[in-house]
Amino acid sequence: MPFPLARRTAVVAAALLAPCTLLSAPAAAQEIRRGGTLVIGSTQTPRHLNGAVQSGIATAMPATQIFASPLRFDDKWNPQPYLAESWKLADDGQSLTLNLRKNAVFHDGKPITSADVAFSIMAIKANHPFQTMLGPVEKVDTPDPYTAIIRMSTPHPAIVLAMSPALAPILPKHIYGDGQDLKNHPRNSTDVVGSGPFRMTEFKPSQRIVLERFDKFFLQGKPYLDKLIVNITPDAASLMLGFERGDVQMVPFARPEARLAANPQVTQTPKGYDGIGAINWLAFNLTRKPLSDGAVRKAIATSIDKNFITKALMSGFATPTDGPIVAASPFAVTDLVRYPVDLRKAAEMLDAAGYKAGANGERFRIAIDYLPGSDDQQKNVAEYIRGQLKKVGITVEVRASADFPSWAKRLATHDFDMSMDIVFNWGDPIIGVHRTYLSTNIKPIIWTNTQSYANPKVDELLNAAGSIVDPTKRKAYYATFQKIVTDELPLVFINQVPYHTLTNKKVGNPPTTIWGPMSPMDEVYLKQAHDPHEKRIRAGVDPR
């Protein structure tokens, strides 16, 4: 369960003032083997590798290895130093000072300075789909090469969390500040120069990403691995076969496999997903009839049996959900509008809304898309919804997309009726929830308000909550927001996603911080040699 908010806030506040330590505790008590190649399996195909302008698993997992962020977090929500060796949030909550390391360089050897941090923060603010994440940021001052001061117009309760690896990659200004459109910059995919523990040596979309150890990484003796390879296998069943054969040693963002539980060579853990807060939902395009009619959306919701989905289609691993904020969040409430399954009532609702069945029993036709690569959460649910809606007279076409970029383009261009989707809360509603519902965030970008939902009251509630530091006061605003959204229903919330990381027992220190596999893997190692020349080292000791 995610860290309780009061304790989480206290820990963050204390960390701002206390001396900072590196994330080396898990490795310190054991002998670490340096070297070797870790192969990670993924079903997700990234469009590119620049996390400053793109969200999602496909980009974040490799991007957090290539690019470093100001801070990182441990498994207890404690902020830890990374590119910033220390930091301080001002008493008025309107500025965050980052004191950068003086030994950090980009992969091309150029030093990382406050100018790069300032450029990156403002680039993220301008281009990232999470517009509320850095919404209050006005500018970044750089009084010297190793001090960056983020200035904000209002207090920002999530600003420290927003400095996390997948959210705040620090880019080289000398490459990306050339005036080209950052979203389509050629260096997002080719000859990528980062600041993290691994450098990209190969990127073949839909096939693999090869990352090699950066020998001048600013954390001495890290990373332990010589190489990371992300093998992209769109078919989940084929990916699991590769894992069982040993072709792949780690599969993150996976569902637990009951048949693997007895395998002594495999570890399955849910640890590492506390900050993510993934919700599986059905999204509506509110600009298209008849889905623009709230009565139709409610009838569709009343046709869906979430318990059947989670128990039968997901083997009991998932938990039904009814609202936009995950149940473990301190901001979640139980006072929501719910839609118990009732096919007779759903049909009556459609009749009352004026959508009578024709002679052939059909009321209207719509299509449903789904995010490729996660059949149990996406394709199977889409097929189930098609069957359920047929029972109430709605004909549904299930549309498959070749890969993630194809599906993402459909949603970004609003070329859909309905779509299954998996969307993250990202630890704080400001970062992961606001973006879906603010009318100011209706953009041609995936994982914004692609539903085109607009309610001035919701805008007012979220904007107010985003500038309140006190968690009790914030919760009151979020409670009203959740009631409105579950009544107006721009989305049908289906289940919380039961992500697990599957690893071969040879893998040491698998990522289990709050961001899990979307964290730098500089402390991951292999317990058995893949390379006869690899060396054993003690954690924190540089053998070079």
Concatenating the DSSP letter of every residue in 263-279 gives: -TTEEEE-TT-TTT-EE
Mean pLDDT over 243-265 rounds to: 90
CA distance 180 to 169: 18
User: Do residue 349 and residue 396 come from a single domain?
Assistant: yes
pLDDT digits over 323-372, tens only?
999 998 999 999 999 999 999 999 999 999 999 999 999 999 999 999 99
Maximum Cα–Cα distance across the chain = 79
Q: How many whole angstroms separate alpha carbon 198 and alpha carbon 226?
A: 9
Type of residue found at 12: V
Torsion over CA: 372, 376, 382, 387 (sign): positive
- Rounded CA-CA distance 284/394 in Å is 15
Question: Residue 459: is its pLDDT beyond 70?
Answer: yes
Residue 27 lies in a domain: no
What is residue 76's DSSP assignment? T
Q: How many CB atoms neighbour CB 107 within 10 A?
A: 21
Beta bridge partners of 279: 423, 496
> Is there a single domain that holds both residue 260 and residue 350?
no
Residue at 26 is within a domain: no
Among the listed residues 28, 21, 2, the one whose alpha carbon sits nearest the alpha carbon of residue 523: 28
Find out whether 526 and 507 touch, Cβ atoms under 8 Å: yes
Whether 245 and 308 share a structural domain:
no
Cα 131 from Cα 258, distance rounded (Å):
39
The answer to whether residue 258 scores a pLDDT higher than 90 is no
Q: Are residues 76 and 152 in the same domain?
A: yes
Structural domain includes residue 543: no
Provide the strand spans (E) within 326-469.
364-369, 394-399, 418-424
Residue with token string 């109430």:
392
CB 49 within 8 A of CB 190: no
CA-CA-CA-CA torsion sign (454, 292, 405, 498)? positive
Is 25 part of a structural domain of the chain?
A: no
Residue 530 one-letter amino acid: H
Reported confidence tier of residue 528, pLDDT bands at 50, 70, 90:
low
Question: What is the rounded CA–CA span in Å between residue 153 and residue 334?
Answer: 33
Residue 21 counted as domain residue:
no
* Section 31-58 average pLDDT: 92
Does one domain contain both 289 and 214? no
Mean pLDDT computed over every residue of the chain:
91
Question: Is residue 175 located within the same domain as residue 312?
Answer: no
pLDDT at position 259 over 90 = no
Mean pLDDT, residues 280-293: 98
Output DSSP code: residue 311: I
Whole-structure pTM value: 0.86
Residue numbers of the domain that contains 80: 5-16+32-271+500-538
Least Cα distance to 256 among 238, 270, 237, 236 occurs for 270
Q: Which of 27-41, 79-93, 301-315 bottoms out in mean pLDDT, i.e. has the lowest?
A: 27-41
Tell me the average pLDDT across 86-99. 96
Residue at 167 is within a domain: yes
Please give the Cα distance from 520 to 541 (Å, whole number): 19
Do 305 and 235 share a structural domain? Answer: no
78, 62 Cβ separation under 8 angstroms = no
pLDDT digits (tens, 9 = 90+) for 390-430: 999 999 999 999 988 999 999 999 999 999 999 999 999 99
State the Cα–Cα distance between residues 429 and 437, nearest whole angstrom.
11
Q: Residue 164 and residue 5: Cα distance in Å, rounded?
A: 18
**CATH number of domain containing 523:** 3.40.190.10
Determine the 3-state secondary structure of 454 from DSSP: coil
In a domain, 544, yes or no: no
Q: Give the number of domains in the chain.
A: 2
In this structure, the answer to whether residues 514 and 457 fall within a common structural domain is no
Give residue 419's pLDDT.
Answer: 98
In a shared domain, residues 362 and 384: yes
Instruction: Write the DSSP assignment of 496-523 as a string of letters.
Output: E---EEEEETTEES---STTGGGS--TT
Q: Which residues contact 231 (CB under 8 A, 6 or more apart)?
A: 39, 40, 41, 42, 207, 208, 242, 247, 248
307 and 447 in a single domain? The answer is: yes
Q: φ and ψ at 395, to 5 degrees? A: -90, 125
Query: Do 321 and 422 fall within a single domain?
Result: yes
What is the C-alpha to C-alpha distance for residues 59 and 53, in angstroms, rounded to an integer? 10
Q: Please give the Cα distance from 182 to 477 (Å, whole number).
A: 35
Q: What's the pLDDT at 30?
A: 58
pLDDT of residue 236: 87
Rounded to whole angstroms, how far apart are CA atoms 384 and 379? 9
Percentage of residues in the chain with pLDDT exceeding 90? 84
The whole-angstrom separation of Cα 422 and Cα 404 is: 12
Q: Is 457 exposed, middle or buried (0-12, 13-18, 19+ CB in 10 A)?
A: exposed
Tell me, yes or no, whether 43 lies in a domain.
yes
CATH number at residue 374: 3.10.105.10
| Of 205, 229, 200, nearest in space to 46 by CA | 205
Planar angle of CA 444, 167, 115, nearest 5 degrees: 100
Same domain, 442 and 376: yes
CA distance 68 to 259: 37
